[in-house]
Amino acid sequence: MSRPYYIAGNWKMHKTRSEAAELAKALTAQLKDGKHRYLIAPGFTLIETVAPIIAGSNIRLGAQNCAPEEQGAHTGEVSVLQLKDLGVRTIILGHSERRHVYKEDDALINKKVTLALRHGFEVILCIGELLEEREAGRAEAVCETQTVKGLEGVAAADLDRVVLAYEPVWAIGTGKTATPEDADGIHAYVRKVVAGLYGDAAAGDMIIQYGGSVKPDNAAQLMSKENVDGALVGGAALKADTFVPIAKFG
Ligand code: 13P
């Protein structure tokens, strides 16, 4: 079992095209000698600008969401076909902002996961509990449900294109990070859930990122934990000065 570290930047709804181009150029140059796996997920309108800049580099191109259908009357949505056309290789799905602000439920997220996998994408499936769920002792149960329902119908053969990202909602954009021990505990639990579904070998190979206020000064500690295989970074992904040290930790 040897899992690569996988560091992803989720740019959320930030940046114009010129700002995105500038950051993508800086990251391409500064991560050239980085030894982990990398991804950036710019907003939809920035993808076409960023794609040629990172083409041929060690940074994968990601998107932050997709529609649950291939095409059709879905005003305001973006399809897997359109993302494929732009060279996107990975789609982040089930982000807590999608779940809690835009009310996406596990069934909808699962539809997106299976559609994206069917179209050859890698999927980063986000899971994570709310503060009140953690305080009620339900963090593991919530993450288990989101994992099991998110992966429903996913064939074992496609599992190597699934990455999980544990993002406790209370840690996102708040400056509060889960302790490395807390993160490792949930990751280990979720890995056991995956083992129950797909067996030990597949679970052992599964990359589980941690997300929620990952910064240059806490990245190495988080990733020193056995079950923490990378990071999904929000705020600190918006500047090369903060993303590069995270991406080059260790
Ligand atoms: P922050 O790093 O800003 O807490 O965001 C984490 C996140 O939601 C990444 O998807």
Q: Is 150 in the pocket of ligand 1 (CB under 6 A)?
A: no
Residue-level pLDDT at 1: 56
Q: Which of 95, 122, 133, 187 is catalytic?
A: 95
CA atoms within 13 A on the CB side of 170: 12
- Token pair 């995956």 is found at 194
Q: Which of 117, 207, 214, 217 is nearest to 165 (CA)?
A: 207
Residue-level pLDDT at 165: 98
Residue-level pLDDT at 125: 99
Count other Cβ atoms within 10 Å, centred on residue 160: 12
Maximum C-alpha span of the chain: 47
Residue-level pLDDT at 175: 85
Q: In Å, what is the CA distance from 82 to each residue of 44, 76, 90, 114, 156?
A: 10, 13, 13, 17, 26
Whether the model pTM is above 0.95: yes
Render pLDDT for 124-163 as a digit per residue (tens, 0 to 9): 999 999 999 999 999 999 999 999 999 999 999 999 999 9
Token reading at 190: 């979720």
Q: Is 173 in the pocket of ligand 1 (CB under 6 A)?
A: yes
DSSP-derived 3-state class of residue 233? strand
In the chain, where are the structural domains located? 6-247
Q: Where are the beta strands (DSSP E) in 70-198?
A: 90-93, 122-127, 162-166
Residue-level pLDDT at 114: 98
Mean pLDDT per 10-residue segment, the chain (250 residues): 92 98 98 98 98 98 98 98 98 98 98 98 98 96 98 98 97 89 97 98 98 97 97 98 96
CATH fit for domain 6-247, picks 3.20.20.70, 1.10.443.10, 3.40.50.261, 3.20.20.140:
3.20.20.70
CA of 198 to the centre of ligand 1 (A): 28
CA of 235 to the centre of ligand 1 (A): 6
Active site residue 95: yes
Name, in order, each residue with C-beta under 8 angstroms of 199's C-beta and a sequence gap of 6 or more: 156
Q: Is 218 in the pocket of ligand 1 (CB under 6 A)?
A: no
